[in-house]
Amino acid sequence: MKEISLHILDIAENSVNAGASEITIEVIENIKNDTLLINITDNGKGMSEETVAVISDPFVTTRTTRRVGLGIPFFKAAAEACDGSLSIKSELGKGTSVSIEFNHSHIDRMPMGDIEDTLTNLFIGYPNVDWLFKYNANGDSFLINGKEIKEILDDVPLSDPSVINFIRNQINDGIGKIRITE
C-alpha cells in the first residue's frame, strides 16, 4: 500500500470483521515533535496475548479465508522504515487498539493519501458501526461522530446521496482547515 489512508482502511476493516460496533480513528500530526501518530481502537472481540505476540508475522492471520495477513506487517514495516513503530494492545472480549507512529518529516514516510474518501467509505460502507474520527494538527482539532450523525438523521440512511455528500464535505472541510501540507 502506498498511502497511510489505505492502511487505516485495512485496520478499520479488521475491526469490523472482529465484530466491533464502535471504532475510533485518531490522527495526530505534530510538526514541533516531528511525529505522525495514528490510533485505531475498537470494541471488537479482541485477541489473546499469544495472537498479539505473533500478529506482525505475515504468515499469521485470524482469517480462515487465506493463510497470510499482510496488513499489519506492512504497516509496521512502513512505520519502522521511518524511525517509527507499531504497537497493539488487545483483550479478549473487550477490543483492540493499534497505535502507529511515524517520524513526520522522514523522507520515506508515505503520504497520508485520501483520508477523507477513506473515512467517507467507512461511514457509508459500514453503517452499523459507530465511527468516531479525530484529527489533530499542531493542537487544532476536528471531530466527526457517526453516532451523532445517525441520531440526527433518524431514519434517513447513510447511503442517501445527500447524506454521503454531507459526510464527505464535513470531513473535507474539517480536515482541510487544519491539515498540515505534505
Lowest mean pLDDT among 56-70, 122-136, 155-169: 56-70
- Quick count: other Cβ atoms within 10 Å of Cβ 168? 17
pLDDT tops 60 at residue 64: no
Q: How many percent of the chain have pLDDT more than 90?
A: 76
Q: Burial letters for 60-81: b for 16+ Cβ neighbours within 10 Å, e otherwise?
A: ebeeeeeeebebbbebbebbee
- pLDDT, tens only, 134-165: 999 988 999 999 999 999 998 899 889 999 99
Residue-level length of the chain:
182
Q: List the one residue out of 171, 156, 143, 147 whose CA is nearest residue 21.
A: 147
CATH topology of domain 4-178: Heat Shock Protein 90 (3.30.565)
**Average pLDDT over the chain, rounded to an integer:** 90
- The residues spanned by each domain of the chain are 4-178
C-alpha cell at 109: 514516510
CA distances in angstroms from 174 to 31, 149, 164, 168, 179, listed in the order given: 19, 15, 15, 10, 9
Predicted pLDDT at 56: 74
71: confidence class by pLDDT, cuts 50, 70, 90? confident
pLDDT tops 70 at residue 105: yes
pLDDT tops 50 at residue 67: no
- pTM of this structure: 0.91
